[in-house]
Amino acid sequence: MRNIKKILILGSGALKIGEAGEFDYSGSQAIKALREEGIRTVLVNPNIATIQTSKFLADTVYFLPINKFFVEKIIEKEKPNGILLSFGGQTALNCGLELNRSGVLKKYNVEVLGTQISGIKLTEDRHKFAEHLRKINIPVPPSCTATTIKQTLQSAEKIGYPIMVRSSFALGGQGSGIAKDEEELKKIAQTAFSFVKQILVEKYLYHYKEIEYEIVRDKDDNCIAVCNMENMDPLGIHTGESIVIAPSQTLNNFEYHALRDAAIKIVRSLNIIGECNVQYALNPYPQTPKSSDGGQTQPNGEIEYYVIEVNARLSRSSALASKATGYPLAYVAAKLALGKNLTEIKNKVTQITSACFEPALDYVVVKIPRWDINKFKKADEKIGSSMKSVGEVMGIGRRFEESYQKAIRMLDLEIEGATSEFIYNKNKTLKDYLKIPTPKRMFAISQALREKITVEEIYKLTGIDPWFLNRIKYIVDEESSIPKDIKKITKEKLLLLKKIGVSDKRIGELAKTTGLEIRKLRKKLKIIPSVFQIDTLAGEFPAKTNYLYLTYNGQHNDVKPQKKSGVIVLGSGPYRIGSSVEFDWTCVNTAINLRRYNKKSIIVNCNPETVSTDYDISDRLYFEELTFERIADIYDFENPYGVIISVGGQTPNNRAFSLKSYGANILGTDPSNIEIAEDRSKFSKLLDDIDVIQPPWDKFTTEQGALNFVEKVGFPVLIRPSFVLSGTLMRVCYTKEELLNFIKEATLISKEYPITISKFIVYAKEIEFDAVALKGEIKASVISDHVENAGVHSGDATIVLPPQRIYLETQRKIEQIAQKLASALSISGPFNIQYLAKNNEVQVIEINLRASRTLPFISKVTGVDFAALCVDAFFGKNNPALDLKINDFVAVKVAQFSFARLTGADPLLHVEMSSTGEVACFGEDLEEAFLKGELAVGGKIPEKGIFISLGGDENKIRFLDNAKDLAKLNLPIFATEKTAEFLKRNKIKAKVLYKIHEHKPPTLLDYLQKGKIDLAINLVDSHIKKDIDDDYAIRRAAVDNNVPLFTNFRKAELFIRAITRKKISELLIKSWDDYVGNN
Amino acid sequence: MTGKLILKDGSIFNGNSFGFEESAAGEVVFSTGMVGYPESFTDPSYQGQILILTYPLIGNYGVSDKKYWESNGLKISGLIVSNYIDTPSHFQSKGSLSDWLKSEKIPALEISDTRLLTEKIRNKGTMLGKIILKNNIAFYDPAKDNLLEKVSIKKVETLGIGNKTILMLDCGAKANIQRCILKRNVKLIIVPYNFDPFKNKINFDGILISNGPGDPKTAIQTIKIIKKSIERKIPTFGICLGNQILALATGGDTQKLKFGHRSQNQPCILEGTKRCFITTQNHGFEVNKIPPGFKPWFTNVNDKSNEGIMHKKLPFMSVQFHPEAAAGPVDTEWIFDEFIKRL
């Protein structure tokens, strides 16, 4: 091995659609692999919620943007010998290519470890790559590259419609799409060209199978295929959007190995050192391919395939493959990057065999994406060749039906399985739902089967292989014969239903009883799941693995219970809007801290993107559902000391009461007090009792009651259901009409919960209070404030620590109220309170008796591990109360939005959360920290032109000083007609751009598309309805053209202050330790 | 219909029958390969064995045309899988696995916990067993039988054309060995396992000893023939059982493995290099003493067992794994070239 002492690792930044938690997993494993070799690691990743940016992993962490400017400065300061580019997704790869192109790596003598730049560059240029593959006799789909719209259309003419558009250098296929005709193609190409210079126009391979291979290669040319996967959805649906099964199910030996062999050939030709993903289109009914376009005829002419994508780095699929097989791909890839031979690395799972092998599975995994498209106003729910999903889950079982139904429940959408009755939009037919892929298609399939539509017909409509459809049909058929009386259910029938993954609750529903009754019957009949290990070798060698799953297709357990030495920690489930990597951080740190109490950690989680599901984080990992049924099964088997439900976000928190009723020992705050906090009526009564003010509110089951209340308190009002997760269905209403409409929609969706209406207070500050208490006594707390006024969801808000605009008096009131609540609810463990402050008056919005989203942020900014404090509280350790003061810097948490991905979604921030991730950066003052943060989420300092659109007089007057500041930047200012008039009246020069619907040149759209604008500010008055659609068009156009957009006055104001007062060159390059110190 | 798998140690497993409804007995082994069940089931090395597949879903792509098989029919004595799939989906499928098993009179059971069976065999070693469907039958030890007689061809067959000729002693050869040789433009003469080519004056350039079932030490006649070819310094190449026969013919020794290697993911390092190959294996015996004059050619990275031998000077070589794959990775097909080069 070379003499490398210090390595720079680039992370992937904030979680976004197409680039999410999988890179926390890969970076964390890489860091571990390097540390074992005694190498110092320097990590650049502004994503403060990640596990990789923890003290126990990277030696030095920079919470700074991952781009050439900042990374060059870090290289200059840190002088690393080597750099790893393959562990931080496309973000890291793009940054690495830029560092290389600009000569930075050469200048500072930084060696690229693992796959070399030349290989990476080849895979990133579609045209050159296609040429390359043709040269080595690997078929690629007939295609042409295009750099203009005209060229695109000409190429399409040549190839023939339908056409698939793919854009190079894009995350998760952004700017890709399928066009049936010229019109559609024009639209897709337009969007694509605003992100990239070159696109690929290729033949759309209709209803081909999509197959992937994960290949590992070392410097000595040893190659292994760690995993292959088959997409249940046919080609045309991005693999990140597909239901994926591993290993492949419908490939025979010849196909499996022909594709494996081709993948190895490709990997060799690119001189990959590390990991590489190869994606294929495989014709289910092969024809003799044309040889003219690179297609080759196989010896027996019985396979027709094309390579559609190669990722010369760790990817979403490799994270999945890693969890599917138990093979630590990222860890191994990092070792190989250092120059190790595959045979020198041990199989981490068995501890006795070599890492140079191909895992044999004796189970099957099914991955299903988690979408939250319906959380976005106006977003199109159709899924296709670019990613829209925000997370994923993986079900493990020994039958397809078992894994598939587990995965569906893991989505945490309160859907019991594959056959859940499906509510569809009345103006769409069932066949529409089958034909047009959406998140609902899974359920349309079982509905269609119930309606006796044949497998063959469903195949024609969906392109989903009959193999899968027949498995789903099996579930439908078996369910249809469940007796409607629990007494008539035989042992054989019940066992079979459990083997095919039907939940107790679902059986209960169909047998006209409850899930708990079925559970009782099941236990009486001794139908209980087996605990199986994932050992990478299908039982061939005895394995020391702690990686477990439950199955009914077994009759023995591979492990013995931990009993009272074990503590179950419930993870967060799939990443989604409102619950993501921050909860994994808390979960992981809680598990680690259990060691201090001599307890074995037993993590339950089902999300393959997480670090908590890594092989060496917990003493025992159940890759399992977070449903009551499954947790209770694990609890029954392990018989542990207790279970922790308050560190994995809302999902485990929701299980508190059912687990408590089941007799589980819940560590931390008593679930009956959690219920008080979650039930608005009970909580409100508590607030009244302890004399704490809250905005006036009430609960209503009738419209009239609601109207009477609103008349009393006046508009605007905030409406929401009683059980809230990231603001689902929350809405601020300004008029009676709006209110009535909303009530109609909301009650239709969630009838078991009444509607809650509270007075919405405008221009109020929103404040976060995070703390850990022991038996009602606060042991440590942190106050942070939002830049935006109340009305922007706290997950979307810009959060500042230490708080910048809170009076001492307000702070005192906040702390007093918190202590009162902690005592009243006898809190032991983490909790979070959201406050409103206006005119020196403090009101409580809500309390959560669990770790909040901000916990990793406050832990890393204060240098105090709040997860450790939580564990102390769970075990009753009486720590002295901490006084946490931050004096010499400011940290700002900035949300990452992925609106560009979500076709049609309105980017306007509101009470419902819409961000997909976050970063946090440090600075000497608010402006510096915020500017770094904004740059880290894709913001830019404007250099070309600024567009301003101010709705209503109030916004215009409020914004005037900011406009004057912007004018000092000497950049062209563009504005809508009225705004331009207003600016001119105030001596600010502005060129009028007409709105999109005005159809009058020059239009905003034109200027956006031509790249003449690189900052857009669109402030609207929520009350004013008349212009709303037009403003939506403005916002959407900005997002679609990748132009930074500000829609919130206070955030825009802060940004303008930052860019007018700070120069990028003045931003300090300081590590986390430089700010927080090494403790 | 339900049936039982009864193991020699007395353990009993119940399962649903999906094959021929008659009892059968044999040696119980497991394989961890995830694809290629038609190839495996027709592999003559499985003669006399009841096969457990650890991959739980079997039957997915049905049964292809005979021309893709490894021999003319099913060679396993019985089959155990966790979940039989009766709705195959593949353009090459001519019928379901169940129908095939029935037509060739092979019983098969669906026993959910194949992992328990695997762990049992791993811990206690390969053992005898029987699938009981209608009538109870006695255990059957294939080691006591002349298995080669059952799987070898009965008369000499000549295939292909080429400047060079390989004579293959068929101890139960997989069809893909033949395909691998013919595609390299070499003439192939296939002879029975006990056919002495030196008595019969056949012209050829090299000898290939095929794979096959059972204990190599029972292949006395084949060993004798190889001793002759070695004396004549004829280029000799052995695969699997052929590897063991070559070792025994040249003064080496073999022994039974506890539970064998039956999988498609065995890493074998090419001695003297840093190159490791992923191989397909199906054997219950190993070469535990390298014959004098030979050196190890390949070694298993996991259990360090010998995976191939090569003579230090003369063109004698053999591998324990299957360079012809089928089922499994095709990474070591180059070994045929290595042999052909030496003819």
Rg over alpha carbons for chain B, rounded to the nearest Å, is 20
Q: How far apart are CA A437 and CA A383, in angstroms?
A: 6
DSSP conformational letter for A994: B
Same domain, B119 and B50: yes
Looking at residue A726, what is its pLDDT?
37
Beta strand extents in A174-293 (DSSP E only): 177-179, 199-203, 209-217, 223-231, 244-246, 274-282
Nearest CA distance, A450 vs chain B (angstrom): 18
Q: Taking the CB of residue B16, how many other CB atoms lie within 10 A of it?
A: 13
CB contact under 8 A, A252 and B61: yes
- The pLDDT, as a whole number, for residue A126 is 80
Q: CA A737 from chain center: how many Å?
A: 35
Q: What is the pTM of this model?
A: 0.95
Q: Which of A1-5, A329-333, A622-626, A969-973 has the least mean pLDDT?
A: A1-5
B182 and B107, same structural domain? Answer: no
CB contact burial A197-229 (16+ within 10 A = b; e otherwise): ebbbbbbbbebbbbbbbbbbbbbbbbbbbbbbb
Name the pLDDT band for A271 (thresholds 50, 70, 90). very high
**Is 60 exceeded by the pLDDT of residue A723?**
no
- What CATH number is associated with residue B261? 3.40.50.880
| B123/B167 same-domain check | no
- Both B164 and B278 in one domain: the answer is yes
Other CB atoms closer than 10 Å to residue A751's CB: what's the count? 10
pLDDT band at A739 (very low <50, low <70, confident <90, very high): confident
Which is nearest to A1007 in space by CA: A1019, A990, A986? A990
Region A551-576: what's the mean pLDDT?
A: 97
What's the confidence (pLDDT) of residue A446?
97
In this complex, do A539 and B119 lie within 8 Å of one another by their Cβ atoms? yes
CA distance B204 to chain A (A): 27
Instruction: Round to whole Å and give the CA distance between A608 and A322.
Output: 8
* Least Cα separation, residue B30 to chain A (angstroms): 9
Residues 466-485 in A contacting B (C-alpha not used; CB under 8 Å): 466-467, 470-471, 474
B231 and B90 within one domain? no
**Alpha helices of A921-993 — where are they, by DSSP H?**
926-936, 952-967, 977-985
Q: Known catalytic residues of B?
A: 240, 322, 324
Q: Tell whether B264 is within 8 A of chain A (Cβ).
A: yes
Q: Residues 329..348 of A with a Cβ closer than 8 Å to B: which?
A: 341-343
Give me the helices (H) in B80-219, please.
Answer: 97-103, 114-124, 147-151, 175-182
CB contact under 8 A, B276 and A356: yes
CATH of domain A696-759: 3.30.1490.20
pLDDT average, residue stretch A609-631: 96
Confidence of residue A747 (pLDDT cuts 50, 70, 90): low
- What's the pLDDT at A328? 95
Number of domains observed in the structure of chain B: 2
CB contact under 8 A, B115 and A247: no
Taking contacts as CB-CB distances below 8 angstroms, the residues of chain B near A261 are 329-331
CATH topology match: A6-115 vs A696-759: no
pLDDT digits (tens, 9 = 90+) for A429-487: 999 999 999 999 999 999 999 999 999 999 999 999 999 999 999 999 999 999 999 99
Q: Are residues B306 and B255 in the same domain?
A: yes
pLDDT for the residue A127:
83
Whether A173 shows a pLDDT value over 60: the answer reads no
Across the interface, whether the CB atoms of A252 and B36 are under 8 A apart is answered: yes
Parse chain A into domains and list their residue ranges: 6-115, 365-524, 696-759, 941-1066
* pLDDT (tens digit per residue) in A949-971: 999 899 999 999 999 999 999 99
Q: Do B87 and A471 touch (CB under 8 A)?
A: yes
| pLDDT band per the 50, 70, 90 thresholds, residue A67 | very high
Cα A467 to Cα B85: distance, rounded to the nearest angstrom: 9
Minimum-distance CB partner of B32 among A538, A542, A552: A538
B95 and B170 belong to one structural domain: no
Contact A364 B54 (CB under 8 A): no
Indicate whether B183 and B131 sit together in one domain.
Answer: no
Best of B5, B14, B60, B176 to disrupt the A interface (most A CBs within 10 Å) is: B60
Q: Do B122 and A364 make contact, defined as CB atoms within 8 angstroms?
A: no
Count of A-B CB contacts under 8 Å: 174
Take residue A391 and report the two structure tokens written for it. Answer: 């997370």
CATH topology of domain A365-524: Carbamoyl Phosphate Synthetase; Chain A, domain 4 (1.10.1030)
Chain B residue at shortest CA distance from A256? B35
> Domain boundary at B144, B166, B200, which?
B144
Residue of B nearest to A284 (CA): B91
Q: Which long-range contacts (CB under 8 A, 24 or more apart) does A653-660 make?
A: A653/A848, A653/A849, A653/A850, A654/A723, A655/A570, A655/A626, A655/A628, A655/A631, A658/A628, A659/A628, A659/A631, A659/A632, A659/A635
Alpha helices in A690-765 (DSSP H): 703-713, 736-749
Domain boundary among B144, B162, B183: B144
Each residue's pLDDT tens digit, A93-146 = 999 999 999 999 999 999 999 999 999 999 988 889 999 999 999 999 888 889
Q: What pLDDT sits at residue A998?
A: 79
CB < 8 Å to B275, chain A: 220-222
- Name the fold adopted by A941-1066: Rossmann fold (3.40.50)
Contact in structure between A74 and A102 (CB atoms under 8 Å):
no
Does the bond joining A561 to the residue before it have cis omega, within 30 degrees of 0?
no
Do B157 and B284 fall into the same domain? yes
Distance from CA of A513 to the nearest CA of B (A): 28
Strand partners for A922: A891
Give the mean model confidence (pLDDT) for residues A1045-1059. 97
Please tell me whether residues B132 and B193 are part of one structural domain.
no
Token match 């730049």: residue?
A117
Question: Cβ B87–A558 below 8 Å, yes or no?
Answer: no
pLDDT, position A755 = 79
Cβ contact B87–A467 (<8 Å): yes
Q: Of A257, A361, A400, which is closest to B330 when you measure between CB atoms?
A: A257
CA distance A260 to chain B (A): 8
pLDDT at A988 > cutoff 90: yes
pLDDT over threshold 90, residue A817: yes
Most B CBs within 10 A among A207, A253, A325, A341, hence the mutation to make, goes to: A253
Give me the residues of B, 14-73, that contact A with CB < 8 A. Answer: 30, 32-36, 38-39, 54-57, 60-61, 64, 68
Give the closest of B32, B82, B267 to A398, CB-based. B82
pLDDT (0 to 100) of residue A904: 86
Spell out which residues of chain B touch residue A458, defining contact as CB-CB under 8 Å. none
pLDDT for A931 beyond 70: yes
- C-beta neighbour count of A157 within 10 angstroms: 13
- pLDDT tens readout for residues A290-326: 444 433 333 445 899 999 999 999 999 999 999 999 9
Q: Do B328 and A359 touch (CB under 8 A)?
A: no
Instruction: Write out the H or E segment, with its range, that includes residue B255.
Output: strand B253-270
Residue A1027 pLDDT class (50, 70, 90 cuts): very low
The residue out of B144, B177, B210 marking a domain boundary is: B144
Average pLDDT for A138-167 = 88
CA distance A143 to chain B (A): 27
Token couple for A969: 């930047």
Are residues B211 and B272 both part of a single domain? Answer: yes
| DSSP labels, A579-644 | BSHHHHHHHHHHHHHGGGGT-EEEEEE--TT-STTSTTTSSEEEE---SHHHHHHHHHHH--SEEE
Note the pLDDT of residue A500.
Answer: 98
Inform me whether the pLDDT recorded for A720 exceeds 50: yes
Taking only the tens of pLDDT, chain B with its 343 residues reads: 999 999 999 999 999 999 999 999 999 999 999 999 999 999 999 999 999 999 999 999 999 999 999 999 999 999 999 999 999 999 999 999 999 999 999 999 999 999 999 999 999 999 999 999 999 999 999 999 999 999 999 999 999 999 999 999 999 999 999 999 999 999 999 999 999 999 988 999 999 999 999 999 999 999 999 999 999 999 999 999 999 999 999 999 999 999 999 999 999 999 999 999 999 999 999 999 999 999 999 999 999 999 999 999 999 999 999 999 999 999 999 999 999 999 9
| Subunit contact B302:A465, Cβ cutoff 8 A | no
Q: Which residue of B5, B14, B34 is the best one to mutate when testing the A interface, meaning the one whose CB has the most A CBs within 10 A? A: B34
Q: Thinking of the domain A6-115, which architecture would CATH place it in?
A: 3-Layer(aba) Sandwich (3.40)
CA nearest to B114 within chain A:
A554
Indicate yes or no: CB of A299 within 8 angstroms of CB of B274.
no
Q: Which tens digits make up the pLDDT trace of A522-547?
A: 999 999 999 999 999 999 998 888 99
Query: Please, which residues 120-179 of chain B have a Cβ atom closer than 8 Å to chain A?
Result: 122
Show the domain range for B190. 152-341
Do B218 and B320 fall into the same domain? yes
CATH value at residue B7: 3.50.30.20
pLDDT at residue number A162: 86
